[in-house]
Amino acid sequence: MRLLGQYREDRPGLLIHLAALHEEAAAQLGDVTSPVGLFDRFVSWARVRG
């Protein structure tokens, strides 16, 4: 399943879903990785590019 296809008409919903996955990953990984790095990996790629 491709997230962009599933959320094609709901970009805010996609960002909420990715933010939830980001939080879950951060909780599971603890302090091992940078929060900024996780944000880039989970959320920033889906933002609208201008």
Separation in Å, CA 32 to CA 8, 26, 35: 33, 9, 9
Sequence-distant (≥ 6) Cβ neighbours of residue 11 within 8 angstroms? 46, 48
pTM summary value: 0.68
Q: Left, alpha or beta for 13 (phi > 0: left; psi -120 to 50: alpha)?
A: alpha
Domain definitions of the chain by residue range: 18-50
pLDDT of residue 33: 65
pLDDT of residue 13: 92
What are the pLDDT tens digits along the chain (50 aa)?
Answer: 588 788 889 988 998 998 898 888 888 887 666 667 788 887 787 776 55
